[in-house]
Amino acid sequence: MSQREEFSGYALFLVCIVALGGFLFGYNTGVISGSLLFIAKEFSLSRMEEGFLVSIILIGGLVGAAGGGVLSDRLGRRKTILVTTLLFVIGIGIAAASKTYDFLVIGRIVTGLAIGITSIATPLYLAEIAPPHRRGACVAVNQLAITVGIVIAYSVNFILAGKGDWRWMLAFGMVPAIIQFFAMLFLPESPSWLMANKHTRQACGVMKRIRKNSFWIAHVPEMEHVAHEKIRWKDLFFKPLLKPLIVGVGISIFQIISGINTVVYYAPKILQSSTTSNALMGTILIGVINVLATFTALCLMDRTGRRKLLLIGTSGMVLGLVVLIFSTFLHVPEPGWFKLGAILFYVLFFALSLGPVTWVLISEIYPLRIRGRAMGIAIFANWLANYLVSLFFLDLLAALTLGGVFAVFAVVCLLAFWFIYSLVPETKGKSLEAIEESLK
Ligand code: BGC
Protein backbone atom coordinates (compact mmCIF):
# COMPACT_ATOMS: atom_id res chain seq x y z
CA MET A 1 0.00 0.00 0.00
CA SER A 2 1.30 3.45 -0.81
CA GLN A 3 2.06 5.69 2.13
CA ARG A 4 -0.34 8.38 1.01
CA GLU A 5 -2.56 10.42 3.23
CA GLU A 6 -6.25 10.03 2.32
CA PHE A 7 -9.43 11.95 3.14
CA SER A 8 -11.82 10.48 5.69
CA GLY A 9 -15.56 10.44 4.96
CA TYR A 10 -15.94 13.30 7.44
CA ALA A 11 -13.47 15.37 5.42
CA LEU A 12 -15.46 14.80 2.23
CA PHE A 13 -18.53 16.18 3.99
CA LEU A 14 -16.44 19.14 5.14
CA VAL A 15 -15.30 19.78 1.54
CA CYS A 16 -18.93 19.84 0.33
CA ILE A 17 -19.99 22.34 3.01
CA VAL A 18 -17.01 24.64 2.46
CA ALA A 19 -17.55 24.48 -1.31
CA LEU A 20 -20.99 26.03 -0.82
CA GLY A 21 -18.96 29.25 -0.70
CA GLY A 22 -18.03 28.70 -4.36
CA PHE A 23 -21.67 27.96 -5.18
CA LEU A 24 -22.76 31.23 -3.53
CA PHE A 25 -20.09 33.09 -5.53
CA GLY A 26 -21.33 31.61 -8.83
CA TYR A 27 -25.03 31.90 -8.08
CA ASN A 28 -24.97 35.50 -6.94
CA THR A 29 -22.87 36.69 -9.86
CA GLY A 30 -24.89 34.68 -12.41
CA VAL A 31 -28.38 35.53 -11.16
CA ILE A 32 -28.36 39.17 -12.21
CA SER A 33 -28.26 38.49 -15.97
CA GLY A 34 -31.78 37.03 -16.03
CA SER A 35 -33.36 39.01 -13.21
CA LEU A 36 -32.21 42.40 -14.45
CA LEU A 37 -34.85 42.57 -17.16
CA PHE A 38 -37.67 42.41 -14.61
CA ILE A 39 -35.94 44.61 -12.04
CA ALA A 40 -35.38 47.27 -14.70
CA LYS A 41 -39.08 47.17 -15.57
CA GLU A 42 -40.34 47.34 -11.98
CA PHE A 43 -38.11 50.27 -11.00
CA SER A 44 -38.09 51.92 -14.45
CA LEU A 45 -34.29 51.94 -14.50
CA SER A 46 -32.21 53.93 -16.94
CA ARG A 47 -29.42 52.15 -18.87
CA MET A 48 -26.90 53.65 -16.50
CA GLU A 49 -28.72 52.44 -13.43
CA GLU A 50 -28.93 48.97 -14.97
CA GLY A 51 -25.20 48.92 -15.69
CA PHE A 52 -24.46 50.13 -12.17
CA LEU A 53 -26.57 47.38 -10.64
CA VAL A 54 -24.58 44.75 -12.54
CA SER A 55 -21.16 46.17 -11.73
CA ILE A 56 -21.84 47.09 -8.09
CA ILE A 57 -21.40 43.47 -7.04
CA LEU A 58 -17.89 43.58 -8.50
CA ILE A 59 -17.07 46.65 -6.40
CA GLY A 60 -18.37 44.78 -3.34
CA GLY A 61 -16.18 41.85 -4.39
CA LEU A 62 -13.19 44.13 -4.69
CA VAL A 63 -13.63 45.53 -1.19
CA GLY A 64 -14.36 42.07 0.22
CA ALA A 65 -11.22 40.66 -1.38
CA ALA A 66 -9.19 43.56 0.02
CA GLY A 67 -10.24 42.71 3.58
CA GLY A 68 -10.86 38.97 3.26
CA GLY A 69 -7.22 37.93 3.44
CA VAL A 70 -6.47 39.79 6.65
CA LEU A 71 -9.73 38.53 8.11
CA SER A 72 -8.86 34.90 7.25
CA ASP A 73 -5.41 35.24 8.86
CA ARG A 74 -6.71 37.02 11.97
CA LEU A 75 -10.07 35.36 12.67
CA GLY A 76 -9.22 32.01 11.17
CA ARG A 77 -10.71 30.44 8.04
CA ARG A 78 -13.79 28.98 9.74
CA LYS A 79 -14.96 32.16 11.46
CA THR A 80 -14.36 34.11 8.27
CA ILE A 81 -16.64 31.70 6.40
CA LEU A 82 -19.27 32.15 9.14
CA VAL A 83 -19.07 35.92 8.70
CA THR A 84 -19.60 35.57 4.94
CA THR A 85 -22.71 33.41 5.39
CA LEU A 86 -24.27 36.13 7.56
CA LEU A 87 -23.33 38.79 5.01
CA PHE A 88 -24.89 36.68 2.25
CA VAL A 89 -28.17 36.30 4.14
CA ILE A 90 -28.31 40.02 4.98
CA GLY A 91 -27.30 41.19 1.50
CA ILE A 92 -29.61 38.86 -0.40
CA GLY A 93 -32.44 39.58 2.07
CA ILE A 94 -32.15 43.34 1.57
CA ALA A 95 -31.97 43.03 -2.22
CA ALA A 96 -34.83 40.54 -2.56
CA ALA A 97 -37.15 42.55 -0.30
CA SER A 98 -36.18 46.01 -1.53
CA LYS A 99 -38.92 48.44 -2.42
CA THR A 100 -36.52 51.02 -3.85
CA TYR A 101 -33.54 51.03 -6.20
CA ASP A 102 -31.26 52.32 -3.41
CA PHE A 103 -31.98 49.34 -1.19
CA LEU A 104 -31.38 47.04 -4.11
CA VAL A 105 -27.97 48.62 -4.59
CA ILE A 106 -27.16 48.30 -0.86
CA GLY A 107 -28.22 44.64 -0.89
CA ARG A 108 -26.03 43.90 -3.89
CA ILE A 109 -23.01 45.67 -2.33
CA VAL A 110 -23.31 43.58 0.84
CA THR A 111 -23.68 40.41 -1.28
CA GLY A 112 -20.60 41.47 -3.25
CA LEU A 113 -18.64 41.92 -0.03
CA ALA A 114 -19.55 38.38 0.97
CA ILE A 115 -18.51 37.06 -2.45
CA GLY A 116 -15.16 38.85 -2.26
CA ILE A 117 -14.36 37.42 1.16
CA THR A 118 -15.54 33.94 0.30
CA SER A 119 -13.44 33.96 -2.88
CA ILE A 120 -10.43 33.94 -0.55
CA ALA A 121 -11.63 31.88 2.40
CA THR A 122 -13.05 28.96 0.38
CA PRO A 123 -10.00 27.93 -1.69
CA LEU A 124 -7.76 28.69 1.28
CA TYR A 125 -9.62 26.35 3.59
CA LEU A 126 -9.88 23.64 0.91
CA ALA A 127 -6.14 23.77 0.21
CA GLU A 128 -5.31 23.48 3.89
CA ILE A 129 -7.36 20.39 4.61
CA ALA A 130 -6.36 18.43 1.50
CA PRO A 131 -3.71 15.69 1.37
CA PRO A 132 -0.91 16.84 -1.01
CA HIS A 133 -1.72 14.49 -3.88
CA ARG A 134 -5.41 15.45 -3.79
CA ARG A 135 -5.00 19.19 -3.25
CA GLY A 136 -5.44 20.19 -6.90
CA ALA A 137 -8.75 18.35 -7.16
CA CYS A 138 -9.87 19.54 -3.74
CA VAL A 139 -9.32 23.23 -4.48
CA ALA A 140 -10.78 22.77 -7.98
CA VAL A 141 -14.02 21.81 -6.20
CA ASN A 142 -14.28 25.56 -5.51
CA GLN A 143 -14.33 26.34 -9.24
CA LEU A 144 -16.71 23.44 -9.88
CA ALA A 145 -19.07 24.90 -7.29
CA ILE A 146 -18.77 28.36 -8.89
CA THR A 147 -19.72 26.96 -12.29
CA VAL A 148 -22.60 24.91 -10.84
CA GLY A 149 -23.80 28.07 -9.08
CA ILE A 150 -23.77 29.95 -12.38
CA VAL A 151 -25.80 27.26 -14.22
CA ILE A 152 -28.29 26.93 -11.39
CA ALA A 153 -28.74 30.72 -11.45
CA TYR A 154 -29.35 30.62 -15.22
CA SER A 155 -31.82 27.77 -14.74
CA VAL A 156 -33.70 29.40 -11.83
CA ASN A 157 -33.94 32.56 -13.96
CA PHE A 158 -35.25 30.49 -16.85
CA ILE A 159 -37.87 28.74 -14.71
CA LEU A 160 -39.09 31.91 -12.96
CA ALA A 161 -38.88 34.11 -16.05
CA GLY A 162 -42.50 33.32 -16.98
CA LYS A 163 -43.79 35.07 -13.87
CA GLY A 164 -41.00 37.65 -13.85
CA ASP A 165 -40.41 36.75 -10.22
CA TRP A 166 -37.04 38.43 -9.71
CA ARG A 167 -37.35 38.52 -5.90
CA TRP A 168 -37.41 34.72 -5.71
CA MET A 169 -34.59 34.52 -8.26
CA LEU A 170 -32.40 36.46 -5.81
CA ALA A 171 -33.83 34.93 -2.63
CA PHE A 172 -32.98 31.36 -3.65
CA GLY A 173 -29.34 32.25 -2.95
CA MET A 174 -30.10 32.39 0.80
CA VAL A 175 -30.68 28.64 1.02
CA PRO A 176 -27.04 27.50 0.64
CA ALA A 177 -25.88 30.37 2.88
CA ILE A 178 -28.17 29.23 5.70
CA ILE A 179 -27.09 25.59 5.28
CA GLN A 180 -23.44 26.63 5.32
CA PHE A 181 -23.91 28.78 8.43
CA PHE A 182 -25.44 26.01 10.54
CA ALA A 183 -23.03 23.35 9.29
CA MET A 184 -19.93 25.51 9.88
CA LEU A 185 -20.96 26.07 13.50
CA PHE A 186 -20.11 22.42 14.07
CA LEU A 187 -17.16 22.00 11.72
CA PRO A 188 -13.51 22.54 12.65
CA GLU A 189 -10.93 25.22 11.91
CA SER A 190 -8.24 24.55 9.29
CA PRO A 191 -5.37 22.57 10.87
CA SER A 192 -2.76 24.80 9.19
CA TRP A 193 -4.24 27.93 10.74
CA LEU A 194 -4.37 26.23 14.14
CA MET A 195 -0.69 25.29 13.79
CA ALA A 196 0.26 28.80 12.75
CA ASN A 197 -1.49 30.08 15.87
CA LYS A 198 0.31 27.61 18.13
CA HIS A 199 -2.66 25.32 18.73
CA THR A 200 -0.75 22.20 17.70
CA ARG A 201 -2.82 19.85 19.84
CA GLN A 202 -6.11 21.01 18.33
CA ALA A 203 -4.56 20.90 14.86
CA CYS A 204 -3.63 17.25 15.41
CA GLY A 205 -7.16 16.57 16.67
CA VAL A 206 -8.57 17.95 13.41
CA MET A 207 -6.05 16.01 11.31
CA LYS A 208 -7.12 12.79 13.05
CA ARG A 209 -10.72 13.41 11.99
CA ILE A 210 -10.03 14.43 8.41
CA ARG A 211 -7.56 11.66 7.49
CA LYS A 212 -8.33 8.01 6.90
CA ASN A 213 -4.85 6.90 7.98
CA SER A 214 -2.17 8.31 10.25
CA PHE A 215 0.72 8.91 7.81
CA TRP A 216 0.30 12.64 8.43
CA ILE A 217 1.86 12.26 11.89
CA ALA A 218 5.29 11.95 10.30
CA HIS A 219 4.87 15.43 8.80
CA VAL A 220 3.91 17.26 12.00
CA PRO A 221 7.44 18.58 12.72
CA GLU A 222 7.66 19.93 9.16
CA MET A 223 4.21 21.52 9.48
CA GLU A 224 5.18 23.10 12.78
CA HIS A 225 8.46 24.38 11.40
CA VAL A 226 6.73 26.12 8.49
CA ALA A 227 3.86 27.35 10.65
CA HIS A 228 6.13 29.14 13.09
CA GLU A 229 8.44 30.78 10.60
CA LYS A 230 9.04 34.47 11.02
CA ILE A 231 7.62 36.02 7.87
CA ARG A 232 6.08 39.46 7.70
CA TRP A 233 3.70 40.17 4.93
CA LYS A 234 5.94 42.98 3.70
CA ASP A 235 8.42 40.24 2.77
CA LEU A 236 6.13 39.39 -0.11
CA PHE A 237 7.48 42.34 -2.04
CA PHE A 238 11.09 41.15 -1.88
CA LYS A 239 13.02 38.09 -3.02
CA PRO A 240 12.37 35.16 -2.67
CA LEU A 241 8.63 35.79 -2.25
CA LEU A 242 8.38 38.33 -5.03
CA LYS A 243 8.16 35.61 -7.69
CA PRO A 244 5.17 33.81 -6.12
CA LEU A 245 3.53 37.22 -5.73
CA ILE A 246 4.01 37.98 -9.43
CA VAL A 247 2.82 34.49 -10.44
CA GLY A 248 -0.32 34.72 -8.27
CA VAL A 249 -1.27 38.25 -9.28
CA GLY A 250 -0.42 37.58 -12.93
CA ILE A 251 -2.44 34.39 -13.25
CA SER A 252 -5.39 36.00 -11.43
CA ILE A 253 -5.41 38.92 -13.84
CA PHE A 254 -5.00 36.70 -16.92
CA GLN A 255 -7.92 34.56 -15.74
CA ILE A 256 -10.19 37.57 -16.17
CA ILE A 257 -8.67 39.60 -19.00
CA SER A 258 -8.73 36.54 -21.22
CA GLY A 259 -12.39 37.55 -21.55
CA ILE A 260 -14.31 34.81 -19.74
CA ASN A 261 -16.80 37.07 -18.00
CA THR A 262 -17.75 38.91 -21.16
CA VAL A 263 -19.07 35.49 -22.18
CA VAL A 264 -20.48 34.59 -18.76
CA TYR A 265 -22.17 37.97 -18.21
CA TYR A 266 -23.04 38.89 -21.79
CA ALA A 267 -23.60 35.52 -23.51
CA PRO A 268 -27.20 36.30 -24.52
CA LYS A 269 -26.04 39.59 -26.02
CA ILE A 270 -23.17 37.97 -27.95
CA LEU A 271 -25.39 35.17 -29.20
CA GLN A 272 -28.17 37.51 -30.23
CA SER A 273 -26.05 38.86 -33.03
CA SER A 274 -25.82 35.39 -34.53
CA THR A 275 -28.77 33.60 -36.03
CA THR A 276 -29.12 31.37 -32.99
CA SER A 277 -32.81 31.46 -32.29
CA ASN A 278 -32.68 30.79 -28.59
CA ALA A 279 -29.93 32.78 -26.91
CA LEU A 280 -31.07 31.76 -23.46
CA MET A 281 -30.77 28.05 -24.18
CA GLY A 282 -27.34 28.77 -25.70
CA THR A 283 -26.40 30.51 -22.46
CA ILE A 284 -27.42 27.50 -20.40
CA LEU A 285 -25.42 25.25 -22.74
CA ILE A 286 -22.34 27.42 -22.14
CA GLY A 287 -22.91 27.03 -18.41
CA VAL A 288 -23.22 23.25 -18.69
CA ILE A 289 -20.01 22.92 -20.74
CA ASN A 290 -18.29 25.10 -18.15
CA VAL A 291 -19.34 22.66 -15.40
CA LEU A 292 -18.45 19.49 -17.32
CA ALA A 293 -15.02 20.72 -18.40
CA THR A 294 -14.27 21.97 -14.88
CA PHE A 295 -15.10 18.52 -13.57
CA THR A 296 -12.71 17.01 -16.13
CA ALA A 297 -9.99 19.42 -15.01
CA LEU A 298 -10.62 18.43 -11.42
CA CYS A 299 -9.97 14.79 -12.33
CA LEU A 300 -6.82 15.67 -14.29
CA MET A 301 -5.34 18.28 -11.97
CA ASP A 302 -3.27 15.98 -9.78
CA ARG A 303 -2.28 13.63 -12.62
CA THR A 304 -1.54 15.91 -15.55
CA GLY A 305 -0.29 18.78 -13.41
CA ARG A 306 -1.14 22.48 -13.26
CA ARG A 307 1.31 23.73 -15.90
CA LYS A 308 0.27 21.33 -18.66
CA LEU A 309 -3.41 22.08 -18.14
CA LEU A 310 -2.72 25.82 -18.26
CA LEU A 311 -0.61 25.58 -21.43
CA ILE A 312 -3.08 23.32 -23.26
CA GLY A 313 -6.02 25.41 -22.05
CA THR A 314 -4.72 28.81 -23.12
CA SER A 315 -3.78 27.37 -26.55
CA GLY A 316 -7.34 26.04 -26.97
CA MET A 317 -8.77 29.41 -25.93
CA VAL A 318 -6.71 31.16 -28.63
CA LEU A 319 -8.02 28.68 -31.22
CA GLY A 320 -11.66 29.23 -30.18
CA LEU A 321 -11.18 33.00 -30.33
CA VAL A 322 -9.55 32.84 -33.77
CA VAL A 323 -12.58 30.94 -35.12
CA LEU A 324 -14.85 33.55 -33.50
CA ILE A 325 -12.85 36.38 -35.07
CA PHE A 326 -13.17 34.76 -38.53
CA SER A 327 -16.85 34.16 -38.08
CA THR A 328 -17.48 37.80 -37.17
CA PHE A 329 -15.07 39.59 -39.55
CA LEU A 330 -15.56 37.45 -42.63
CA HIS A 331 -19.29 37.20 -42.07
CA VAL A 332 -19.04 33.44 -42.54
CA PRO A 333 -22.49 32.49 -43.82
CA GLU A 334 -23.17 31.14 -40.43
CA PRO A 335 -25.55 28.67 -39.21
CA GLY A 336 -26.22 29.98 -35.68
CA TRP A 337 -24.38 27.10 -34.11
CA PHE A 338 -21.06 28.12 -35.68
CA LYS A 339 -20.54 31.07 -33.34
CA LEU A 340 -22.04 29.16 -30.43
CA GLY A 341 -19.69 26.25 -31.21
CA ALA A 342 -16.63 28.53 -31.13
CA ILE A 343 -17.76 30.08 -27.84
CA LEU A 344 -18.30 26.63 -26.36
CA PHE A 345 -14.82 25.61 -27.50
CA TYR A 346 -13.31 28.69 -25.83
CA VAL A 347 -15.24 28.12 -22.57
CA LEU A 348 -14.28 24.44 -22.58
CA PHE A 349 -10.57 25.27 -22.62
CA PHE A 350 -10.99 28.04 -20.04
CA ALA A 351 -12.70 25.55 -17.76
CA LEU A 352 -9.88 23.05 -18.25
CA SER A 353 -7.24 25.58 -17.31
CA LEU A 354 -7.39 29.20 -16.14
CA GLY A 355 -10.78 28.62 -14.45
CA PRO A 356 -9.80 26.04 -11.83
CA VAL A 357 -5.98 26.14 -11.90
CA THR A 358 -5.86 29.81 -10.91
CA TRP A 359 -7.54 29.07 -7.58
CA VAL A 360 -5.36 26.02 -7.01
CA LEU A 361 -2.09 27.85 -7.65
CA ILE A 362 -2.81 30.91 -5.56
CA SER A 363 -3.84 28.77 -2.63
CA GLU A 364 -0.61 26.76 -2.60
CA ILE A 365 2.30 29.03 -3.50
CA TYR A 366 2.35 31.32 -0.45
CA PRO A 367 3.89 30.73 2.97
CA LEU A 368 1.39 29.72 5.61
CA ARG A 369 2.07 32.68 7.91
CA ILE A 370 0.88 35.16 5.31
CA ARG A 371 -1.16 32.93 3.03
CA GLY A 372 -4.50 34.66 3.58
CA ARG A 373 -3.10 38.12 2.95
CA ALA A 374 -1.04 37.06 -0.05
CA MET A 375 -4.06 35.37 -1.62
CA GLY A 376 -5.99 38.51 -0.79
CA ILE A 377 -3.64 40.57 -2.98
CA ALA A 378 -3.92 38.13 -5.90
CA ILE A 379 -7.71 37.90 -5.61
CA PHE A 380 -8.04 41.65 -5.23
CA ALA A 381 -6.24 41.93 -8.58
CA ASN A 382 -8.71 39.39 -10.00
CA TRP A 383 -11.73 41.47 -8.89
CA LEU A 384 -10.16 44.72 -10.04
CA ALA A 385 -9.56 43.23 -13.50
CA ASN A 386 -13.12 41.91 -13.46
CA TYR A 387 -14.51 45.34 -12.64
CA LEU A 388 -12.42 47.12 -15.27
CA VAL A 389 -13.27 44.62 -18.02
CA SER A 390 -16.98 44.84 -17.30
CA LEU A 391 -16.75 48.65 -17.10
CA PHE A 392 -15.11 48.97 -20.51
CA PHE A 393 -16.55 45.96 -22.35
CA LEU A 394 -19.56 47.71 -23.86
CA ASP A 395 -17.47 50.73 -24.93
CA LEU A 396 -14.81 48.45 -26.40
CA LEU A 397 -17.53 46.59 -28.24
CA ALA A 398 -18.82 49.82 -29.72
CA ALA A 399 -15.31 50.95 -30.72
CA LEU A 400 -13.80 47.68 -31.98
CA THR A 401 -16.85 45.54 -32.86
CA LEU A 402 -17.19 42.02 -31.51
CA GLY A 403 -14.45 40.66 -33.79
CA GLY A 404 -12.04 43.34 -32.57
CA VAL A 405 -12.75 42.57 -28.91
CA PHE A 406 -12.20 38.85 -29.52
CA ALA A 407 -8.90 39.71 -31.23
CA VAL A 408 -7.79 41.59 -28.10
CA PHE A 409 -8.70 38.56 -25.97
CA ALA A 410 -6.78 36.25 -28.34
CA VAL A 411 -3.64 38.37 -27.89
CA VAL A 412 -4.15 38.32 -24.12
CA CYS A 413 -4.41 34.51 -24.17
CA LEU A 414 -1.14 34.32 -26.12
CA LEU A 415 0.51 36.53 -23.50
CA ALA A 416 -0.95 34.30 -20.79
CA PHE A 417 0.62 31.27 -22.49
CA TRP A 418 4.01 32.99 -22.49
CA PHE A 419 3.62 34.06 -18.84
CA ILE A 420 2.73 30.53 -17.73
CA TYR A 421 5.49 28.96 -19.83
CA SER A 422 8.16 31.24 -18.34
CA LEU A 423 7.06 31.69 -14.74
CA VAL A 424 4.51 29.24 -13.36
CA PRO A 425 6.03 26.37 -11.32
CA GLU A 426 4.65 22.82 -11.25
CA THR A 427 3.24 22.14 -7.78
CA LYS A 428 1.47 18.82 -8.40
CA GLY A 429 1.82 16.31 -5.55
CA LYS A 430 4.06 18.46 -3.34
CA SER A 431 3.07 19.27 0.22
CA LEU A 432 2.35 22.93 0.96
CA GLU A 433 5.40 22.90 3.20
CA ALA A 434 7.61 21.49 0.40
CA ILE A 435 6.34 24.10 -2.06
CA GLU A 436 7.13 26.79 0.48
CA GLU A 437 10.64 25.48 0.92
CA SER A 438 11.21 25.07 -2.84
CA LEU A 439 10.18 28.64 -3.59
CA LYS A 440 12.87 30.03 -1.31
C1 BGC B 1 -13.86 33.43 -12.16
C2 BGC B 1 -15.17 34.13 -12.36
C3 BGC B 1 -15.87 33.52 -13.54
C4 BGC B 1 -15.99 32.03 -13.41
C5 BGC B 1 -16.51 31.41 -14.66
C6 BGC B 1 -14.14 31.99 -11.94
O7 BGC B 1 -12.98 31.30 -11.64
O8 BGC B 1 -13.16 33.98 -11.06
O9 BGC B 1 -14.93 35.51 -12.52
O10 BGC B 1 -17.15 34.08 -13.70
O11 BGC B 1 -14.75 31.46 -13.10
O12 BGC B 1 -16.56 30.02 -14.60
> How confident is the model over 61-92, as pLDDT tens digits?
999 998 998 999 999 999 999 999 999 999 99
Residue 83 carries which side chain, given as an amino acid letter? V
Distance 261 CA to ligand 1 centre (A): 7
Give the residue-averaged pLDDT of 185-202. Answer: 91
Share of the chain above pLDDT 70, in %: 95
Helix (H, G, I), strand (E, B) or coil at 333: coil
Span of 134-148, 261-275, 278-292, 346-360 with lowest mean pLDDT: 261-275
Residue 325: CA count within 13 A, CB half-sphere: 15
Question: What residue owns the CA closest to ligand 1's atom 2?
Answer: 261
Buried b (16+ CB within 10 A) or exposed e, 288-323: bbbbebbbebbebbbeebbbbbbbbbbebbbbbbbb
For residue 275, pLDDT over 50 is answered with: no
Residue 114 carries which side chain, given as an amino acid letter? A
Q: If you average pLDDT over every residue of the chain, what do you get?
A: 89
Q: How far apart are CA 213 and CA 8, in angstroms?
A: 8
Q: How far apart are CA 61 and CA 63, in angstroms?
A: 6
Q: Evaluate whether 349 touches 290 at the Cβ level (below 8 Å).
A: no
CB of 260 within 6 A of ligand 1: the answer is yes
CB of 261 within 6 A of ligand 1: the answer is yes
Q: How far apart are CA 59 and CA 38, in angstroms?
A: 23
CB of 290 within 6 A of ligand 1: the answer is yes
Question: What residue owns the CA closest to ligand 1's atom 1?
Answer: 355
Q: How far apart are CA 178 and CA 437, in angstroms?
A: 39
Nearest to 418 by CA among 239, 188, 251, 233: 251
CB of 147 within 6 A of ligand 1: the answer is yes
H helices of 130-275, where? 135-160, 166-171, 174-186, 191-196, 200-210, 220-227, 242-257, 260-272
Span of 81-90, 107-116, 227-236, 393-402 with lowest mean pLDDT: 227-236
Question: What residue owns the CA closest to ligand 1's atom 7?
Answer: 355
Span of 71-80, 97-106, 332-341, 386-395 with lowest mean pLDDT: 332-341
Q: How far apart are CA 60 and CA 170, in angstroms?
A: 16
Assign 3-state DSSP to the chain and report helix, strand, coil percentages, each to 5: 85, 0, 15
Give the number of the atom of ligand 1 that is nearest the alpha carbon of residue 264. Answer: 10
**Residue of 57, 126, 249, 255 best suited for mutating to test ligand 1, as the one with most atoms within 8 Å of CB:** 255
Give the residue-averaged pLDDT of 37-45. Answer: 89
Q: What is the pTM of this model?
A: 0.90
Distances (CA, A) of 369 to 192, 198, 234, 278: 9, 12, 12, 50
Q: Evaluate whether 254 touches 415 at the Cβ level (below 8 Å).
A: yes
Span of 9-18, 228-237, 337-346, 382-391 with lowest mean pLDDT: 228-237
Give the residue-averaged pLDDT of 382-410. Answer: 89
Distance 145 CA to ligand 1 centre (A): 10
Give the number of the atom of ligand 1 that is nearest the alpha carbon of residue 356. Answer: 7
Residue 1: predicted pLDDT = 41
Question: What residue owns the CA closest to ligand 1's atom 12?
Answer: 147
For residue 383, pLDDT over 90 is answered with: yes
For residue 34, pLDDT over 50 is answered with: yes
Give the number of the atom of ligand 1 that is nearest the alpha carbon of residue 147. Answer: 12
Q: How far apart are CA 100 and CA 269, in angstroms?
A: 27
Give the number of the atom of ligand 1 that is nearest the alpha carbon of residue 256. Answer: 9
Q: Which has the higher per-residue pLDDT, 231 or 298? A: 298
Give the number of the atom of ligand 1 that is nearest the alpha carbon of residue 354. Answer: 7
Q: Evaluate whether 330 touches 402 at the Cβ level (below 8 Å).
A: no
Distance 195 CA to ligand 1 centre (A): 31
For residue 124, pLDDT over 60 is answered with: yes
Give the number of the atom of ligand 1 that is nearest the alpha carbon of residue 351. Answer: 12
Give the number of the atom of ligand 1 that is nearest the alpha carbon of residue 261. Answer: 10
pLDDT band at 32 (very low <50, low <70, confident <90, very high): confident
For residue 49, pLDDT over 80 is answered with: yes
For residue 268, pLDDT over 70 is answered with: no
Distance 222 CA to ligand 1 centre (A): 34
CB of 146 within 6 A of ligand 1: the answer is yes
Report the phi/psi class of residue 232: left, alpha or beta, with left for phi > 0 and alpha for psi in -120 to 50: beta
Give the residue-averaged pLDDT of 39-49. Answer: 88
pLDDT band at 276 (very low <50, low <70, confident <90, very high): very low
